[in-house]
Structure 1
Amino acid sequence: MSANVTVVEHPLVQVKLTQMRSKETATPDFRRLLKEISHLLAYEVTRDLVLTEREVETPVERAMCPVLRDLEPCFISILRAGNGILDGMMDLLPSARVGHVGLYRDHETLEAIEYYYKVPTDMADREVIVVDPMLATGHTAVAAIDRLKKDGAKNIKFLCLLAAPEGIEEFQKGHPDVPVYTASVDQKLNEHGYIVPGLGDAGDRIYGTK
Protein backbone atom coordinates (compact mmCIF):
# COMPACT_ATOMS: atom_id res chain seq x y z
CA MET A 1 0.00 0.00 0.00
CA SER A 2 1.23 3.50 -0.81
CA ALA A 3 2.68 5.52 2.04
CA ASN A 4 0.17 8.23 1.15
CA VAL A 5 -2.84 5.99 1.89
CA THR A 6 -3.96 5.47 5.50
CA VAL A 7 -6.36 2.60 6.20
CA VAL A 8 -8.16 3.20 9.48
CA GLU A 9 -8.21 -0.28 11.00
CA HIS A 10 -9.78 0.56 14.36
CA PRO A 11 -12.05 -2.33 15.39
CA LEU A 12 -15.13 -0.12 15.73
CA VAL A 13 -14.59 1.27 12.23
CA GLN A 14 -14.32 -2.23 10.78
CA VAL A 15 -17.35 -3.61 12.63
CA LYS A 16 -19.56 -0.70 11.59
CA LEU A 17 -18.33 -1.03 8.02
CA THR A 18 -19.33 -4.70 7.99
CA GLN A 19 -22.83 -3.73 9.09
CA MET A 20 -23.01 -1.13 6.33
CA ARG A 21 -21.94 -3.63 3.69
CA SER A 22 -24.88 -5.94 4.41
CA LYS A 23 -27.73 -5.55 1.94
CA GLU A 24 -30.09 -6.25 4.84
CA THR A 25 -29.15 -2.98 6.56
CA ALA A 26 -32.08 -0.58 6.18
CA THR A 27 -31.69 3.06 5.14
CA PRO A 28 -32.12 4.56 8.64
CA ASP A 29 -29.53 2.17 10.07
CA PHE A 30 -27.15 2.74 7.16
CA ARG A 31 -27.37 6.50 7.69
CA ARG A 32 -26.79 6.15 11.43
CA LEU A 33 -23.80 3.86 10.95
CA LEU A 34 -22.27 6.22 8.41
CA LYS A 35 -22.54 9.09 10.87
CA GLU A 36 -20.98 7.00 13.64
CA ILE A 37 -18.12 5.78 11.47
CA SER A 38 -17.56 9.35 10.26
CA HIS A 39 -16.84 10.41 13.85
CA LEU A 40 -14.06 7.82 14.03
CA LEU A 41 -12.65 8.66 10.59
CA ALA A 42 -12.68 12.37 11.45
CA TYR A 43 -10.63 11.58 14.55
CA GLU A 44 -7.92 10.02 12.34
CA VAL A 45 -7.90 12.58 9.55
CA THR A 46 -7.54 15.48 12.02
CA ARG A 47 -4.93 13.78 14.19
CA ASP A 48 -2.13 16.10 13.03
CA LEU A 49 -3.91 19.44 13.58
CA VAL A 50 -1.41 21.77 15.25
CA LEU A 51 -2.05 23.00 18.79
CA THR A 52 -0.95 26.00 20.78
CA GLU A 53 -1.96 27.14 24.27
CA ARG A 54 -4.05 29.90 25.77
CA GLU A 55 -4.95 30.79 29.30
CA VAL A 56 -8.28 29.46 30.58
CA GLU A 57 -9.91 30.14 33.92
CA THR A 58 -11.25 26.89 35.35
CA PRO A 59 -13.47 26.77 38.48
CA VAL A 60 -10.27 26.10 40.42
CA GLU A 61 -7.51 28.27 38.89
CA ARG A 62 -6.13 29.78 35.70
CA ALA A 63 -4.22 27.36 33.46
CA MET A 64 -2.59 27.20 30.03
CA CYS A 65 -4.63 24.78 27.89
CA PRO A 66 -4.37 23.49 24.30
CA VAL A 67 -6.34 25.11 21.48
CA LEU A 68 -6.04 24.92 17.69
CA ARG A 69 -3.18 27.08 16.45
CA ASP A 70 -4.58 27.65 12.99
CA LEU A 71 -7.99 28.36 11.50
CA GLU A 72 -10.52 25.53 11.71
CA PRO A 73 -10.38 23.11 8.76
CA CYS A 74 -12.60 23.39 5.74
CA PHE A 75 -14.71 20.34 4.90
CA ILE A 76 -15.63 19.89 1.24
CA SER A 77 -18.44 17.45 0.50
CA ILE A 78 -18.68 15.87 -2.95
CA LEU A 79 -22.44 15.77 -3.52
CA ARG A 80 -24.57 14.07 -2.79
CA ALA A 81 -23.19 11.12 -0.87
CA GLY A 82 -20.41 13.15 0.73
CA ASN A 83 -22.99 14.80 2.97
CA GLY A 84 -23.39 11.50 4.81
CA ILE A 85 -19.79 11.78 6.04
CA LEU A 86 -19.96 15.56 6.42
CA ASP A 87 -22.78 15.34 8.99
CA GLY A 88 -20.69 13.22 11.33
CA MET A 89 -17.58 15.36 10.95
CA MET A 90 -19.53 18.53 11.75
CA ASP A 91 -20.53 16.97 15.08
CA LEU A 92 -16.85 17.01 16.07
CA LEU A 93 -15.89 20.35 14.51
CA PRO A 94 -19.05 22.45 14.27
CA SER A 95 -17.02 25.63 13.63
CA ALA A 96 -15.37 24.20 10.50
CA ARG A 97 -16.08 25.93 7.19
CA VAL A 98 -18.02 23.86 4.66
CA GLY A 99 -18.08 23.73 0.88
CA HIS A 100 -19.90 21.57 -1.67
CA VAL A 101 -18.86 20.29 -5.07
CA GLY A 102 -21.60 18.75 -7.20
CA LEU A 103 -20.30 16.13 -9.60
CA TYR A 104 -21.99 13.21 -11.30
CA ARG A 105 -20.45 10.32 -13.16
CA ASP A 106 -21.36 9.86 -16.81
CA HIS A 107 -22.45 6.22 -17.01
CA GLU A 108 -20.96 5.80 -20.49
CA THR A 109 -17.55 7.45 -20.08
CA LEU A 110 -17.34 7.23 -16.24
CA GLU A 111 -16.00 10.80 -16.35
CA ALA A 112 -17.02 13.39 -13.72
CA ILE A 113 -19.27 16.29 -14.80
CA GLU A 114 -19.66 19.35 -12.54
CA TYR A 115 -23.11 20.80 -11.83
CA TYR A 116 -22.60 22.72 -8.55
CA TYR A 117 -19.71 24.48 -6.83
CA LYS A 118 -19.78 26.61 -3.65
CA VAL A 119 -16.75 26.81 -1.35
CA PRO A 120 -15.29 29.19 1.27
CA THR A 121 -13.15 32.00 -0.11
CA ASP A 122 -10.32 31.43 2.36
CA MET A 123 -9.52 27.79 1.55
CA ALA A 124 -5.87 28.68 0.99
CA ASP A 125 -5.56 29.56 4.68
CA ARG A 126 -7.15 26.34 5.98
CA GLU A 127 -6.58 22.61 5.93
CA VAL A 128 -9.06 21.24 3.39
CA ILE A 129 -10.61 17.80 3.93
CA VAL A 130 -12.56 16.49 0.93
CA VAL A 131 -15.13 13.80 1.76
CA ASP A 132 -16.91 11.23 -0.41
CA PRO A 133 -17.88 7.71 0.69
CA MET A 134 -16.43 5.99 -2.37
CA LEU A 135 -13.13 6.28 -4.25
CA ALA A 136 -14.08 4.06 -7.18
CA THR A 137 -12.69 5.10 -10.59
CA GLY A 138 -11.08 8.14 -8.99
CA HIS A 139 -12.36 10.49 -11.71
CA THR A 140 -14.77 12.37 -9.45
CA ALA A 141 -12.24 12.90 -6.67
CA VAL A 142 -9.55 14.04 -9.11
CA ALA A 143 -11.93 16.49 -10.79
CA ALA A 144 -13.04 17.92 -7.43
CA ILE A 145 -9.49 18.47 -6.22
CA ASP A 146 -8.45 19.92 -9.59
CA ARG A 147 -11.15 22.54 -9.07
CA LEU A 148 -10.22 23.22 -5.43
CA LYS A 149 -6.54 23.67 -6.25
CA LYS A 150 -7.49 26.07 -9.03
CA ASP A 151 -9.23 28.20 -6.39
CA GLY A 152 -6.23 28.20 -4.07
CA ALA A 153 -6.58 25.15 -1.82
CA LYS A 154 -3.11 23.94 -0.83
CA ASN A 155 -3.19 21.69 2.23
CA ILE A 156 -5.66 18.98 1.13
CA LYS A 157 -6.65 15.52 2.40
CA PHE A 158 -9.17 13.11 0.91
CA LEU A 159 -11.38 11.01 3.19
CA CYS A 160 -13.55 8.13 2.00
CA LEU A 161 -15.24 5.06 3.40
CA LEU A 162 -14.15 2.62 0.69
CA ALA A 163 -11.51 2.74 -2.03
CA ALA A 164 -10.70 0.53 -5.00
CA PRO A 165 -7.08 -0.07 -6.05
CA GLU A 166 -7.91 1.38 -9.48
CA GLY A 167 -9.29 4.52 -7.88
CA ILE A 168 -6.23 4.98 -5.68
CA GLU A 169 -3.97 4.60 -8.71
CA GLU A 170 -5.94 7.16 -10.71
CA PHE A 171 -6.11 9.55 -7.77
CA GLN A 172 -2.39 9.37 -7.08
CA LYS A 173 -1.57 10.00 -10.73
CA GLY A 174 -3.60 13.21 -10.56
CA HIS A 175 -2.74 14.33 -7.02
CA PRO A 176 0.26 12.51 -5.55
CA ASP A 177 0.56 15.22 -2.90
CA VAL A 178 -2.89 14.57 -1.40
CA PRO A 179 -3.07 11.85 1.28
CA VAL A 180 -6.00 9.43 1.24
CA TYR A 181 -7.74 8.18 4.39
CA THR A 182 -10.14 5.24 4.12
CA ALA A 183 -11.71 2.46 6.17
CA SER A 184 -10.95 -0.18 3.52
CA VAL A 185 -9.21 -0.78 0.21
CA ASP A 186 -11.45 -3.35 -1.46
CA GLN A 187 -10.63 -5.90 -4.18
CA LYS A 188 -11.39 -4.18 -7.47
CA LEU A 189 -13.94 -2.41 -9.67
CA ASN A 190 -16.48 -4.40 -11.64
CA GLU A 191 -17.38 -3.75 -15.27
CA HIS A 192 -19.85 -1.05 -14.21
CA GLY A 193 -17.28 0.88 -12.17
CA TYR A 194 -18.63 -0.24 -8.78
CA ILE A 195 -16.35 -1.27 -5.91
CA VAL A 196 -16.26 -5.02 -5.17
CA PRO A 197 -17.30 -6.27 -2.65
CA GLY A 198 -18.24 -2.72 -1.72
CA LEU A 199 -21.61 -1.77 -0.27
CA GLY A 200 -23.58 -0.73 -3.34
CA ASP A 201 -24.42 2.86 -4.26
CA ALA A 202 -23.73 4.92 -1.13
CA GLY A 203 -26.02 7.79 -2.11
CA ASP A 204 -28.96 5.48 -2.77
CA ARG A 205 -28.43 3.70 0.52
CA ILE A 206 -28.12 6.93 2.51
CA TYR A 207 -31.23 8.52 1.06
CA GLY A 208 -33.34 5.47 0.19
CA THR A 209 -33.62 6.37 -3.48
CA LYS A 210 -33.24 2.82 -4.74
Structure 2
Amino acid sequence: MSGATVVNHPLVQHKLTIMRDKDTSTQGFRRLLREISLLLCYEVTRDLPVVMQKIETPLQEMEAPILDGKKLVFASVLRAGNGLLEGMLDLVPAARVAHIGLYRDPQTLEPVEYYFKAPENLDERLVVVVDPMLATANSAIAAVDKLKERGANNLRFLCLLGSPEGVEKFNRAHPDVPIFTASIDEKLNEKGYIVPGLGDAGDRMYGTK
Protein backbone atom coordinates (compact mmCIF):
# COMPACT_ATOMS: atom_id res chain seq x y z
CA MET A 1 0.00 0.00 0.00
CA SER A 2 1.07 3.57 -0.63
CA GLY A 3 2.90 5.12 2.30
CA ALA A 4 3.80 1.79 3.89
CA THR A 5 6.95 -0.33 3.62
CA VAL A 6 6.40 -4.03 4.32
CA VAL A 7 9.58 -5.68 5.58
CA ASN A 8 9.34 -9.07 3.89
CA HIS A 9 12.69 -10.48 4.98
CA PRO A 10 12.36 -14.27 5.49
CA LEU A 11 13.47 -14.06 9.14
CA VAL A 12 10.87 -11.38 9.85
CA GLN A 13 8.10 -13.42 8.24
CA HIS A 14 9.20 -16.64 9.96
CA LYS A 15 9.16 -15.05 13.41
CA LEU A 16 5.84 -13.35 12.70
CA THR A 17 4.25 -16.67 11.78
CA ILE A 18 5.26 -18.20 15.12
CA MET A 19 3.96 -15.13 16.95
CA ARG A 20 0.58 -15.45 15.24
CA ASP A 21 0.16 -19.04 16.48
CA LYS A 22 -2.28 -19.02 19.42
CA ASP A 23 -0.27 -21.77 21.11
CA THR A 24 2.93 -19.70 21.33
CA SER A 25 3.64 -19.04 25.01
CA THR A 26 3.89 -15.63 26.65
CA GLN A 27 7.62 -16.15 27.06
CA GLY A 28 8.01 -17.15 23.43
CA PHE A 29 5.90 -14.27 22.15
CA ARG A 30 7.88 -11.76 24.21
CA ARG A 31 11.21 -13.15 23.00
CA LEU A 32 10.12 -13.17 19.36
CA LEU A 33 8.80 -9.60 19.59
CA ARG A 34 12.17 -8.46 20.88
CA GLU A 35 13.98 -10.34 18.10
CA ILE A 36 11.72 -9.08 15.31
CA SER A 37 12.03 -5.51 16.57
CA LEU A 38 15.77 -5.65 15.87
CA LEU A 39 15.11 -6.56 12.25
CA LEU A 40 12.41 -3.91 11.82
CA CYS A 41 14.61 -1.29 13.47
CA TYR A 42 17.37 -2.10 10.99
CA GLU A 43 14.98 -1.26 8.16
CA VAL A 44 13.50 1.93 9.64
CA THR A 45 17.00 3.34 10.29
CA ARG A 46 18.46 2.28 6.94
CA ASP A 47 18.99 5.84 5.67
CA LEU A 48 20.22 7.59 8.82
CA PRO A 49 22.70 10.35 7.89
CA VAL A 50 26.39 9.74 8.50
CA VAL A 51 29.56 11.83 8.42
CA MET A 52 33.16 10.76 8.01
CA GLN A 53 35.39 10.76 11.08
CA LYS A 54 39.09 10.15 11.34
CA ILE A 55 39.95 7.13 13.50
CA GLU A 56 42.99 4.95 14.01
CA THR A 57 42.71 1.19 13.57
CA PRO A 58 45.42 -1.12 14.93
CA LEU A 59 47.05 -0.78 11.50
CA GLN A 60 46.57 2.80 10.30
CA GLU A 61 44.48 5.96 10.30
CA MET A 62 41.33 6.08 8.16
CA GLU A 63 38.16 8.05 7.47
CA ALA A 64 35.13 6.03 8.60
CA PRO A 65 31.36 6.73 8.73
CA ILE A 66 29.63 7.58 12.00
CA LEU A 67 26.05 8.69 12.70
CA ASP A 68 25.45 12.40 12.23
CA GLY A 69 23.22 14.77 14.18
CA LYS A 70 21.40 14.53 17.49
CA LYS A 71 20.48 11.15 18.92
CA LEU A 72 17.22 9.82 17.53
CA VAL A 73 14.11 9.23 19.63
CA PHE A 74 12.05 6.07 19.98
CA ALA A 75 8.51 7.02 21.04
CA SER A 76 6.71 4.07 22.62
CA VAL A 77 2.91 3.99 22.66
CA LEU A 78 2.19 2.37 26.03
CA ARG A 79 1.93 -0.34 26.94
CA ALA A 80 2.50 -2.69 24.01
CA GLY A 81 5.01 -0.36 22.33
CA ASN A 82 7.55 -1.27 25.01
CA GLY A 83 7.80 -4.77 23.53
CA LEU A 84 9.28 -3.29 20.35
CA LEU A 85 11.20 -0.61 22.24
CA GLU A 86 13.37 -3.04 24.21
CA GLY A 87 14.79 -4.74 21.14
CA MET A 88 15.31 -1.46 19.31
CA LEU A 89 17.34 -0.13 22.22
CA ASP A 90 19.55 -3.20 21.96
CA LEU A 91 20.40 -2.03 18.43
CA VAL A 92 20.57 1.72 19.18
CA PRO A 93 21.38 1.95 22.91
CA ALA A 94 22.11 5.69 22.78
CA ALA A 95 18.63 6.59 21.49
CA ARG A 96 16.42 8.84 23.60
CA VAL A 97 12.98 7.51 24.61
CA ALA A 98 9.55 9.11 24.71
CA HIS A 99 6.52 7.47 26.33
CA ILE A 100 2.95 8.16 25.20
CA GLY A 101 0.21 6.66 27.35
CA LEU A 102 -2.92 5.93 25.32
CA TYR A 103 -5.66 3.36 25.68
CA ARG A 104 -8.53 2.57 23.35
CA ASP A 105 -12.02 3.17 24.69
CA PRO A 106 -13.78 -0.18 24.14
CA GLN A 107 -17.05 1.51 23.18
CA THR A 108 -15.93 4.32 20.87
CA LEU A 109 -12.54 2.82 19.85
CA GLU A 110 -11.15 6.34 20.30
CA PRO A 111 -7.79 6.91 22.07
CA VAL A 112 -7.68 8.33 25.60
CA GLU A 113 -4.39 9.93 26.72
CA TYR A 114 -3.14 9.40 30.27
CA TYR A 115 0.62 10.08 30.04
CA PHE A 116 3.16 11.93 27.86
CA LYS A 117 6.88 12.39 28.46
CA ALA A 118 9.43 13.14 25.75
CA PRO A 119 13.00 14.44 25.37
CA GLU A 120 13.70 18.05 24.50
CA ASN A 121 14.48 19.37 21.00
CA LEU A 122 12.17 16.99 19.15
CA ASP A 123 12.38 19.36 16.19
CA GLU A 124 16.06 18.44 15.79
CA ARG A 125 15.67 14.66 15.99
CA LEU A 126 14.30 11.77 13.98
CA VAL A 127 11.39 10.32 16.00
CA VAL A 128 10.36 6.70 15.43
CA VAL A 129 6.93 5.97 16.91
CA VAL A 130 6.54 2.31 17.91
CA ASP A 131 3.32 0.36 18.51
CA PRO A 132 2.86 -3.31 17.53
CA MET A 133 -0.60 -2.88 15.97
CA LEU A 134 -1.89 -0.30 13.48
CA ALA A 135 -5.54 -1.35 13.62
CA THR A 136 -8.04 1.53 13.58
CA ALA A 137 -5.04 3.93 13.60
CA ASN A 138 -6.76 6.16 16.15
CA SER A 139 -4.03 5.72 18.78
CA ALA A 140 -1.22 6.05 16.24
CA ILE A 141 -2.69 9.27 14.84
CA ALA A 142 -3.16 10.68 18.35
CA ALA A 143 0.44 9.79 19.29
CA VAL A 144 1.84 11.53 16.21
CA ASP A 145 -0.45 14.52 16.84
CA LYS A 146 1.02 14.88 20.34
CA LEU A 147 4.59 14.64 19.09
CA LYS A 148 4.02 17.20 16.36
CA GLU A 149 2.49 19.55 18.94
CA ARG A 150 5.80 19.29 20.82
CA GLY A 151 7.79 20.20 17.70
CA ALA A 152 8.61 16.87 16.05
CA ASN A 153 8.77 17.26 12.27
CA ASN A 154 10.74 14.19 11.15
CA LEU A 155 8.76 11.10 12.12
CA ARG A 156 8.36 7.47 11.14
CA PHE A 157 5.87 4.90 12.40
CA LEU A 158 6.95 1.32 13.11
CA CYS A 159 4.50 -1.50 13.80
CA LEU A 160 4.36 -5.27 13.65
CA LEU A 161 0.98 -5.54 11.90
CA GLY A 162 -1.26 -3.11 10.08
CA SER A 163 -4.75 -3.23 8.63
CA PRO A 164 -5.63 -1.74 5.22
CA GLU A 165 -8.15 0.53 6.96
CA GLY A 166 -5.57 1.67 9.51
CA VAL A 167 -2.86 2.35 6.96
CA GLU A 168 -5.25 4.35 4.79
CA LYS A 169 -6.57 6.40 7.71
CA PHE A 170 -3.07 7.07 9.08
CA ASN A 171 -1.85 8.18 5.64
CA ARG A 172 -4.73 10.63 5.34
CA ALA A 173 -3.99 12.12 8.76
CA HIS A 174 -0.18 12.15 8.47
CA PRO A 175 0.92 11.76 4.83
CA ASP A 176 4.41 12.95 5.80
CA VAL A 177 5.00 10.03 8.21
CA PRO A 178 6.07 6.77 6.49
CA ILE A 179 4.94 3.43 7.93
CA PHE A 180 7.19 0.40 8.38
CA THR A 181 5.56 -2.95 9.17
CA ALA A 182 6.04 -6.71 8.92
CA SER A 183 2.58 -7.26 7.40
CA ILE A 184 -0.60 -5.57 6.23
CA ASP A 185 -3.32 -8.07 7.03
CA GLU A 186 -6.73 -8.66 5.50
CA LYS A 187 -9.09 -6.38 7.41
CA LEU A 188 -10.50 -5.21 10.76
CA ASN A 189 -13.30 -7.13 12.44
CA GLU A 190 -16.35 -5.54 14.06
CA LYS A 191 -14.42 -5.06 17.33
CA GLY A 192 -11.56 -3.21 15.66
CA TYR A 193 -9.06 -6.10 15.78
CA ILE A 194 -6.77 -6.98 12.89
CA VAL A 195 -7.72 -10.19 11.06
CA PRO A 196 -6.12 -12.72 10.86
CA GLY A 197 -3.76 -10.82 13.16
CA LEU A 198 -2.30 -12.28 16.34
CA GLY A 199 -4.73 -11.13 19.02
CA ASP A 200 -4.00 -8.34 21.49
CA ALA A 201 -0.23 -7.80 21.43
CA GLY A 202 -0.12 -6.32 24.93
CA ASP A 203 -2.08 -9.20 26.46
CA ARG A 204 0.03 -11.81 24.70
CA MET A 205 3.26 -10.09 25.69
CA TYR A 206 2.38 -9.64 29.35
CA GLY A 207 0.11 -12.65 29.90
CA THR A 208 -2.97 -10.57 30.70
CA LYS A 209 -6.56 -10.58 29.45
Instruction: Tell me the TM-score range normalised by the shorter chain.
Output: over 0.9
What residue is the counterpart of 1:178 in the other structure?
Answer: 177
Deviation at 1:50?
0.8
What residue is the counterpart of 2:71 in the other structure?
Answer: 72
SS in 1 for 2:119: coil
Q: Is 1:81 matched with 2:80?
A: yes
In structure 2, how many angstroms separate the alpha carbons of the residues matched to 1:145 and 1:52? 29
Residue type of the partner of 1:153?
Answer: A
- Gap runs ≥5 in structure 1: none
What residue is the counterpart of 2:55 in the other structure?
Answer: 56
What residue is the counterpart of 1:155 in the other structure?
Answer: 154
Superposition map of 1:131-146 within 5 A = 131-146=130-145
In structure 2, how many angstroms separate the alpha carbons of the residues matched to 1:198 and 1:72? 33
TM-score using structure 1 length: 0.98
SS in 2 for 1:36: helix
Residue type of the partner of 1:151?
Answer: R
What residue is the counterpart of 1:194 in the other structure?
Answer: 193
Superposition map of 1:83-122 within 5 A = 83-122=82-121
Deviates more, 1:50-59 or 1:128-137: 50-59
- Gap runs ≥5 in structure 2: none
Deviates more, 1:74-83 or 1:62-71: 62-71
What residue is the counterpart of 2:39 in the other structure?
Answer: 40
What residue is the counterpart of 1:14 in the other structure?
Answer: 13
> Structure 1 residue runs of 4+, over 2 Å off?
none
SS in 1 for 2:159: strand
Deviation at 1:63?
1.1
Deviation at 1:121?
1.1
TM-score using structure 2 length: 0.99
Deviation at 1:174?
0.8
In structure 2, how many angstroms separate the alpha carbons of the residues matched to 1:100 and 1:175? 20
Aligned residues: 209
Q: Is 1:203 matched with 2:202?
A: yes
